[in-house]
Chains A and B, each alone.
Chain A
Amino acid sequence: MSAVRPKSWYLEKLAQVFIWFFLIAVCILVLIPLLFMFTASTMPAIDILKLPYPWFSDHFHWQNFWNGLRGPEGDFIFVRNTLNSLIVAVSVSFFTVILSSITGYGLAKFKFKGRNLVFMLIMATMMIPFEAIMIPLYMVVTDMGLQDTYVGLIIPFVANAFGIFLMRQFFIPFPDEVLDAARIDGASEPRIFWNVVLPNAGPAIATLAIIAFRAQWDNLLWPLLIVQSDEMKTIPLYITKYMAETHSDEGIMMAVAVMASLPMFILFFTLSKYFVSTEGLHSSTKG
């Protein structure tokens, strides 16, 4: 075996080293703020803005988590607020998936007059800044008497232009022959949708459900307007409230941030195969 290797072999190795170095470097930079959140949540506030930052403290300041859980009024409203966030986010993603599939299917597989106009109108709703429609939207929802209710938190977000777009793209390549075969067998249109089309939409549905869940988990401005009682508040409202309180303490804030992010992290790690793979997202959006 010859010890002399071609020049390209060395270049290839060099490139390989560079690629790994780059990926690891970016990975560290991206994860540092998360590491900071986790470590800071275990420290008393006085340590967090100390120079230099003590990355790992010798003892776990569990009081941060206890105080964050207890809340400024000591009524454990955090638990209730987390539950609210879950209820709202789960409901919105459930109804969004249903409605977006139905609408996306209708737009993808049925030719009718005005279809393109309907599609353009729906797409246009993606472009209006929320701040602009905030007040008329608030009027509509309060006129229906929905302030401070779950319905009021959920219903404005069920019709989701992006979701419809996503599902439409997914359904376009669905073979028409399969649908026609079902029609010839005498299946009704809703039945075809429910039994033939929907079961094949798994990956797209998972992607959309996660996107819709995340958006609601993150929503701040709308709950702020529509929620009145502490019992109906969601997690972002709880956090802003805690920030506004005079007792705000960096350690507790980070502990609350960790606790508020936990459900999302759990969801992310369990469902990651749907959106972190070389196939999942692609197959769901291929048009």
Chain B
Amino acid sequence: MRPKQGFSMEQKKARWGWIFVTPALILFSIFSFYPMLNAFYESFHNKNLLSLRPPRYVGWANYTYLFQSKDFLNSVKNTAIFTLGTFIPLLVVSLILAAFIMSIKKFQRFFQMAFYAPAVLSSVVAALIWLLIFDPRGIANQGLNTLFGTSGVNYNWLSKPGMLRLSTIIVYFWKYVGYFTIVFVSGIGSIPHNLHEAALIDGANRWQDFWYITFPLLKPTTLLVSIMAMIQCLKTFSTQYLFITAGAPTRPINVITLNIYYTAIKDHRIGRASAMSILLFLVMFFFTYLQLKVSKTEEVTYM
């Protein structure tokens, strides 16, 4: 091989690689990395947002405080309940819906669009609609009363702690079930037809086909979707925020992001709020690490 002048092909490519990623890196540095580092720095300091005094270094004090704070542990509990309560049903139902849609011959597109339709609304609009539905005089109470043949029972959708948590889960579930159904549909659609045909020729029924062919091949999609959904659930904010603004009790749905917002913006304790953010970040980082590992080992990546 004849040595090239100046840069080799590899070096040239490496240089172009950097050129392609630099604009994004510059924007990220200004609008993401710097604010993130700032939060990390603040988490080791005590600073009142209104005070003109410089931040005071306190070491791990903000973190140790959080681990024995009832309020923060309550938020951890609420976030965990919301995340588990939302993403498991989301996963199971959207998988079932996708499998059902793929098993019918007509209206495949109609059902996908119908299930996806709520995702089109913005969170503010979704909260507006559901607040009216969950009003004591709203159609949620009317519907259950009709269903159970009772009259005038108030299910306290927005006031009893358990019901309130369920209500936030319902809103979230409603908004995202269509999205994940579509992801699963495309996952199922990508499984080569000849695999199904082979199974059917071998005498498998449709259930066996799903259980032994479709489901195992969907595993990477399923794992990926579950972790994506988990991150989304861990970051939930607007539904809870809008419900509380409308008069729902705070404590049962005071999730971590909401606690961060209250601690920083209402109580002015930016150090403590930053420490919460860093902890939440670490949890999410763990799950994303998991996600990347999964997608690498399985060699199949759907969204």
A contacting B, Cβ–Cβ less than 8 Å: yes
Q: Footprint of B on A, CB under 8 Å?
A: 8, 11-12, 15-16, 19-20, 22-23, 26-27, 30-34, 36-37, 40, 48-53, 99-100, 102-103, 105-107, 109-113, 115, 118, 121-137, 140, 155-156, 158-159, 161, 164, 166, 169, 189, 193, 214, 217-218, 220-221, 235-236, 239-240, 243, 250, 253-254, 257, 260-261, 264-265, 268-269, 272, 275-282, 285-287
Sorted nearest first, the 8 A-B pairs with minimum C-beta distance are A106-B20, A110-B17, A132-B277, A282-B186, A287-B301, A133-B35, A278-B189, A159-B27
Sorting the interface of chain B by its residue count into under 10, 10 to 19, 20 to 34 or 35 or more gives 35 or more
CB atoms of A285 and B303 under 8 A apart: yes
Q: Mark out the residues of chain B between 121 and 144 whose CB falls within 8 Å of any chain A CB in the assembled complex.
A: 121-125, 128-130, 132-133, 135, 137-139, 142
B114: interface (CB < 8 Å):
yes
Distance from B21 Cβ to chain A, minimum over Cβ atoms (Å): 4
Contact with A along B152-189 (1 / 0, CB 8 A): 00000000000000000000001001100011011111
B217 at interface, CB cutoff 8 A: no
Chain B residues with a Cβ under 8 A of chain A: 10, 13-21, 23-25, 27-28, 30-36, 38-39, 49, 93, 96-97, 100-104, 108-109, 111-125, 128-130, 132-133, 135, 137-139, 142, 174, 177-178, 182-183, 185-190, 205-207, 231, 235, 237-238, 256-257, 260-261, 264, 270, 273-274, 276-278, 280-281, 284-285, 288, 292, 295, 300-303
Across the interface, B182 reaches (CB within 8 A) one of A53, A260, A275, namely A275
- Contact of A111 with B13 in the complex, beta carbons under 8 Å: yes
CB <8 Å contact, A277 and B109: yes
Q: With A155-B31, A264-B121 given, is the CB distance from A102 to B20 under 8 Å?
A: yes
Q: Which residues of A contact B274 (CB under 8 A)?
A: 132
* Closest residue of A by beta carbon distance from B137: A49
Given A31-B117, A110-B16, A121-B28; A136-B132 close (CB under 8 Å)? no
Which residue of chain B lies nearest to A29 when distances are taken between CB atoms in the complex?
Answer: B174
Residue in A99, A131, A133 whose CB lies within 8 Å of B32:
A133
Nearest Cβ in chain A — how far from B269, in angstroms? 12
A166 x B129 contact (CB < 8 A): no
A230 to chain B, nearest CB (A): 17
- CB-CB under 8 A from A221, the residues of chain B are 237
Q: How far is the CB of A8 from chain B (nearest CB, A)?
A: 7
- Min C-beta distance of A60 to chain B, whole Å: 19
A136 touches B34 (CB 8 A): yes
Q: CA–CA, A52 to B188, complex, Å? A: 43
